Amino acid sequence: MKLSPIRVESLLDEAVESFPLGACPTCECFLGYVAQLHVDSDADSKDLLRQYKVERNSIHGCLGCDPCPPGNLYVAYQRNKQDSH
């Protein structure tokens, strides 16, 4: 089942609110999560995700935050997805 706009918005809000650093919106940890949500979203949800698209040269690797809230949310999302199948 594809993610609805309401669910995508909720997941994105949770991730953005968890950012420990100002550089998180361009971190591969967060952007990997956004990419996975894009794959799992219905057509109406994809518009919500476009606002997080960044130029390739702006993306940076993990900064080593410990913990990494966006990365942890991504892992939790993947586990929940796997458990529901």
**Tens digits of per-residue pLDDT, 40-73?**
999 999 889 999 999 999 999 999 999 999 999 9
Q: What is the reported pLDDT for 64? A: 92
pTM of the entire predicted model = 0.92
8 A C-beta contact, residue 44 and residue 4: yes
Question: Quick one: tokens of 14?
Answer: 């949770």
pLDDT digits (tens, 9 = 90+) for 4-48: 999 999 999 999 999 999 999 999 999 999 999 999 999 999 889
Q: What is the reported pLDDT for 22? A: 93
